[in-house]
Structure 1
Amino acid sequence: METMGAESRAADVVDRLWRAYAPFQRGRNTFGDLTSMLAILMLAGFVESAGEPEDEFVQRWTRAVSEARIGISPLMDLRSAMRSASRHPHFPVPDIHKLDVEFLDGGEASDDVPWVAAFLTALTQRPTLAEAGLSEVGGLLLERHVQEGAFSAGEFYTPREVVRLLVESASPQPGDRILDPACGTGSMLAAAAQHIAGAAGRIDGDSFEAHATDRSNPRLATLNLAIHGVDQPVVDTSDPVSLFLRRGTGLADRVLSNPPFNQRVEDIHAIDWPFGQPPESNANFAWLQLAWARLSEDGLATVIMPPRATWSSGREAEIRKRMIAGGALLGIIALPPNLFAPHTSIPVHIWVLARDKSRHLPTGHANDVLFIDASRLGTQLPRRPRTLTAEELGHISSQLHAWQRSPQATAHEPGFSRSVTHEEILMHDGSLDPRLYVYAEREQPATALDMSRTLDELDRCGLATSKSSVSVRKSFTMCQRLARSGIEHPRVPLRDIVSGATADLFEDSMPGLLLAGPSGSLIRAEDYVDAGVPVVMPKDLTGNGFSEASIRYITEQHAEGLERFRLRRGDVVLARRGELGRCAVVREEQHGWVCGTGCFVLRPPAELDADYFAAFLRSPEAREWLEARSTGSMAMKTVSRNVLGELPVALPDLGTQQAIADAMTRLDEHERLLREHLALTQKIRSDALKGILPSS
């Protein structure tokens, strides 16, 4: 008969302990219960691993268990067992009385632990603590408290699979000094201890440096480290400014941390920060700089950050650029949302920092950064946190380590990872959002509304729109500078431009082509098919391109007979009826399409930039001129090829044309971003209640 795996046995023990404890939660202050449980687990593990029958703490423990089984309060003997055990030279926390564990202090609160008898009874049943593993039971019990909503999250707790990923990514080795400046319950250092020691052996507490920002957490972290094999762990309270000033604590080979997000920190001006002073209202970049500054020459840090740290603007953007230029960043790993549920749904990023990147990458790759987008991984059951499998965690960490060995050979995995140079990142104004650099082969439809991610997207839209506005201003400023000569640009009839009759204005003037689309007899209604070569009609021309929403097709064989009407890259297609001035420039995607009956096609000569001409056609000047000379009804205006040939086109030099075209293209892009921003805002409004209120 197969025996249960260690993890399964531990889950069984924790489930049994929780069922024993749960009935005693109501009507009590349960704040100190988890600390008391971890202390009892530590004592039980010590009794099993180091106790001898003649030891006083073993006898007291045995008596406490017997009392619990017959319904007598075991508190007195439990306290005596703990005091006796703490005097043993190998007890992991000799100063346990300083931790203010409630059931040990003998005060009034110490008697408010009615669950202890049931807890001890459940603890001594099969499978036992020894069979399940002390560290595994302690970790799962802490996780159960978080999932059941007994405690708040924040610095307090990081999901076990995320902890494992940080540790595996940093890969601490025996002899390393490891720091967690915001340790919460100590899960990061506990996992690092397991990674180093394996299943057997204990680790000297001097190898670890742990600080907590919440004053209620040091005792939890101390006990958690103790049950994970760390001898005499010491945890104190601190903040990034104080830790930065206390340089005497020494450098660390590995820094692992999940600091509080967007925390306000006082006295931030007292530090000469290596990459720039963070804003006082947000300590994200204080924590990142602290992690980097405390690293040894070979040191690595893995730090959890909110997504906004990758794209925030202002002072944080400048710090980010200096960190990139200074070689502090090895990689960014984007994780999926809801890993920290039920307390928060936001996705997180892992920043991988190095004191000296050249020590962790092959020669010639010190300017590379690895981006991993794991935001689509994981499984989520209803009303449960999202979870990452061991295979998914291994995929992420192995990709990072393989990239460190050979960036060129292993970095690019479509939709998952990509190696990017500092230069490319700075082209994106220093943004480190992995989605800018990791391209998915195809987007998967969202399965559920996530308001947090939608609001993050709204912030990104706003940032993109702001950057676009700056780009538009620069382009128009360039156009104005080019126009300052005061020379009036000539107005040249379009037919003269097409025929090449502008030799007096341009050198090497060459003719172009202006052609009306084929007559109705060449493409009849019955010639259209479901798929084939697209035929462009006026309705398919948009403000800045082509729409395929209702485009019609002819066969390739039919299109070959209309070769003179086939479009080439750089052509301009114009509407000859309906909304005059409507046009679009043919790009690579439309090369080989066919100009339809209701359109003209212009193949501009070298002296006429296609994008400039399209912008001119859309201008009020050109539209008014064409409408004044059109025929037909008000609803369906039409211009002939002869009238179009008479259109006076403002014809500056080619450099000015290209500058104007660039400005108009950027303006089109700005309009697109504004429309996306508006559409996203409208979506948020329509989905607001659905995203805010919990589903029934």
Structure 2
Amino acid sequence: MLVLIGALDRVDFRKFLDRFAEEDSLDSRETFTPKGIAALLSRIAGAEGAPQRVHDPYARGGELLTAALDAYADRPHPEVCAVSPHTGMLRLAAMNVMVHGAVPELRNDAVVPWLSADRDQPRADRILANPPFNASAGGSAHVEWRYGDPPPSNDNFAWLQYVLSTLRPGGRAVVVMADNAAASDQPKEREIRRAMVEDGVVECVIALPSKLFTGTKVSACIWVLGTPTPHRDHVQFINARNAGEMVTRTRRELGQEDMELLLHAYRSLRDGGTWPREEHGDHVMGRTVPLAEVRFRHYSLSPVDYVDAAPQATTTVEDVIDARAELLRAQDIAADRDRLVESHWRGGGPAGDTGQWSSRGWERRELGSLCTVQAGPSPSLLHTGLFDSWGVVPVVLPKHLRDRRICDVVDSRTSDDVARRLNRFRLHEGDILCARTGTVGPSALVDASHEGALFHGNLLRLYEFASDVDPRYILAFLSLPQVVVWIKGRAAMTTVASIKGSTLRQLLVPVPPLQEQRRVGALLHSLDQQVAAHLRVAEEADRAHRNLTGLWLGDEVSPGEPATTRIATTGLSDEGMLK
């Protein structure tokens, strides 16, 4: 093994680490810092001045130290120190550093470095760190902290203060921290932030986009720290929440262009320049904030409090008029649905006298005798690789089945060519879809708007109903809580919750005369339409609310300044408007 490792170059070794992390399913305390983030931290720390010593107090796979070595590749290697509580990971870090041509000093602390028996820890010119987010090792109350005792709930501010305590005068530390450290209302944490800001050790805080780090969904910030500078009268804030692209369903990466833009923003602000949004767009935004404003915000260090991630929308009078018109249309449709439901209630039978309605004496037949039950296409026929945002044929997924309707099929589409090959899986008005895998139980009626769509392999389709069966009645029966329990109970018998078509066919369904099915189905379907119509009213009312708020108050909100109370002159009459 050692011979093989010795034959790897630095690129191959990083691939080895990534493969190791993937196959060993490392948790958030052990997983490696993404290569791009490691490079960004080392470049923010600055290659100028050729530091004598670089330190990582939580070394993981050594990726931050090797990024620093790459930054100084044309100069003599600085001393490199790696600390870790995990012996195996420390060995990986050592091999990684040695592949990069340096011999690291290794320190294996039992828990966290500030509780080490060796309290005489050498200081460093550059410290790069990605400690565990929101973890707690306990025992920090017994340490003398310069800026205050961290709360026992997590070690975020213990790590920040430890890093500062091991920084040489004039040095720089770059630390990845969980978002909540920058803006938490926990009294001890807020007091520590206050003390750090007033002591001038906080140079810059950078908000990163979400989903950059494997093993955790917590978003993060980069803290750039220096040694005390009591006369510092500002802090730089950079908001990069909109940077990067999703490379998988769950992971985002910062591209090289994003990295360069972020680094350029940091250097420009650090050197006294500005970073106007008009020139650089919304992916990376930054500004230098005077200390008075940080005090005004009770020492929040969250960049989003100082640099808005989205351009301020301009709401016009026309937007409000349009929102009002859409709301009135939605209300008219809802009123029609209300009248339809009322007519069904008064129509006699189950609608007019529900107390006399009983299913006793009805014939019970297996679902498979009432309709055809078809499973969706296998993954080999229809998989996410065939989805195309430019496609013209919608693909209905289990998540689209809500309130016995198919809703919001906008994010899954495929091409006409794929749909033609899967023509036998095309939907028709009056079909019923049932979720067969995962969250089994939900079902929905296919209406005219989804005619010709495909359905996913995690769904079952009921179609070709017998002549004496009303699909709306079958949908109502499938929606009964006891039927949903029956379906989920049989799905739970499999390794992955899944109801087979052959099992669903065995479901016994009470079958009244067709006329009675239609009366039941008509009333219940009209109630579903009433639900949908009133949900639309709620959506349009919310849209109108947003537009009115934007028109009246939108111009009054700017980062860092208290909003004024001036109300914009809209030019609208008071008639029909909220007062």
TM-score computed with the length of structure 1 as normaliser: 0.44
Are the equivalent residues in 1 in contact too, given 2:236–2:288 (CA < 8 A)? yes
Structure-to-structure mapping, 1:672-691, within 5 angstroms: none
* CA distance in 1 between partners of 2:117 and 2:194 (Å): 24
| Correspondence 1:378 to 2:254 | no
Change (3 A) 1:411 1:370: farther
Kindly tell me: are residues 191 and 241 of structure 1, through their superposed partners in 2, closer, same or farther at Cα, counting changes over 3 Å? closer
Counterpart selection for 2:234 from 368, 375, 379: 368
- Is the alpha carbon distance of 1:239 and 1:367 closer, same or farther for their aligned partners in structure 2, counting shifts above 3 Å? farther
**Structure 1 partner of 2:493:** none
Q: For each residue in 1:214-255, what CA deviation from the matched residue of structure 2 results, as whole angstroms up to 9, or x when unmatched?
A: 233111111111112113543423544536874533221111
- 2:152 maps to a residue whose letter is E
1:486-528 deviations in whole A, cap 9, x for unaligned? xxxxxxxxxxxxxxxxxxxxxxxxxxxxxxxxxxxxxxxxxxx
Residue-by-residue CA offset, 1:295-349 (whole Å, 9 max, x unaligned): 11111100011001011122111111111111110111111111113x2232211
1:180 maps to 2:56: yes
Tell me what 1:421 maps to.
290
Unaligned regions of 5+ residues in structure 1, if any?
A: 1-35, 46-133, 359-363, 450-545, 552-585, 600-613, 615-696
1:549–1:371 CA distance, 2 compared to 1 (3 A): closer
Task: Say whether the 8 Å CA contact 2:80–2:103 is kept in structure 1.
Answer: no
Give, in whole Å, the separation in 2 of the partners of 1:267 and 1:349. 25
SS at match of 2:222: strand
Cα deviation, 1:40-67, whole Å, max 9, x if unaligned, reads 444225xxxxxxxxxxxxxxxxxxxxxx
Alignment counterpart, residue 140 of structure 1, candidates 8, 12, 15? 15
CA-based RMSD of the aligned residues comes to 3.3
Structure 1 match to 2:129: 257
**Residues 192 and 429 of structure 1: is their aligned pair in 2 closer, same or farther, counting only changes over 3 Å?**
same
TM, length-normalised to structure 2: 0.52
1:317 aligned partner? 190
Deviations 1:573-628 (A, max 9, x none): xxxxxxxxxxxxx96553363554689xxxxxxxxxxxxxx9xxxxxxxxxxxxxx
Contact kept in structure 1, 2:125 and 2:171, CA below 8 Å: yes
The 3 A distance-change label for structure 1 pair 176 and 594 is same
> Which of structures 1 and 2 has the larger relative contact order (alpha carbons within 8 angstroms, sep 6+)?
2
Change (3 A) 1:550 1:411: closer
Residue identity matched to 1:289: Q
Output the amino acid matched with 1:368.
Answer: H
Distance 1:148 1:424, change over 3 A: same
Structure 1 equivalent of residue 569 of structure 2: 591
Partner of 2:77: 203
Distance 1:440 1:380, change over 3 A: closer
Alpha-carbon distance change, 436 to 233 in structure 1, aligned in 2, over 3 angstroms: same
Aligned pair partner of 2:34 in 159, 162, 168: 159
- What is the letter of the counterpart of residue 159 of structure 1? P
Q: Map residues 80-119 of structure 1 onto 2, 5 A cutoff.
A: none
> 1:211·1:235 contact (CA, 8 Å) conserved in 2?
yes
Report the equivalent of 2:212: 339
More helix per residue: 1
Change (3 A) 1:354 1:594: same
Task: Please state how far the C-alpha of 1:139 moved relative to its aligned partner.
Answer: 1.0
Go from structure 1 to structure 2 and tell me whether the alpha carbon gap of 1:156 and 1:212 turns closer, same or farther (over 3 Å shift): farther
Q: Distance in 2 between matches of 1:227 and 1:258?
A: 21
**SS of the counterpart of 1:423?**
helix
Task: Give 1 or 2 for the bigger CA radius of gyration.
Answer: 1
Instruction: Structure 2: state its 5+ residue gaps.
Output: 314-388, 390-398, 400-543, 550-563
The amino acid across from 1:183 in the alignment is: A
> Residue 442 of structure 1: CA displacement?
2.8
C-alpha distance in 2 between matches for 1:330 and 1:219:
33
- The alignment status of 1:436 with 2:332, answered yes or no, reads no
Corresponding residue number in structure 2 for 1:55: none
Looking at structure 2, the residues matched to 316 and 280 of structure 1 have their Cα atoms a distance apart, in angstroms, of 11
SS, match of residue 295 in structure 2 = helix
Residue 456 of structure 1 is matched in structure 2 by: none
- Matched ranges for 1:486-525 at <5 A: none
3-state SS of 1:154 partner:
coil
In the TM superposition, what is the alpha-carbon distance from 1:282 to its structure 2 partner? 1.0
Q: Which residue of structure 2 aligns with residue 392 of structure 1? A: 258
**Percent identity between the two aligned chains:** 28
Are the structure 2 counterparts of residues 164 and 243 from structure 1 closer, same or farther at C-alpha, using a change threshold of 3 Å? farther
Deviations 1:458-492 (A, max 9, x none): xxxxxxxxxxxxxxxxxxxxxxxxxxxxxxxxxxx
Letter matched to residue 419 of structure 1:
T
Which one of the candidate residues 43, 46, 54 is aligned to 2:6?
43
Please give the residue correspondences for 1:507-656 in structure 2 after superposition, counting only pairs within 5 Å: 588-591=566-569, 593=571, 595-596=573-574
Q: Which amino acid aligns with 1:151?
A: L
Corresponding letter in the other structure for 2:12: V
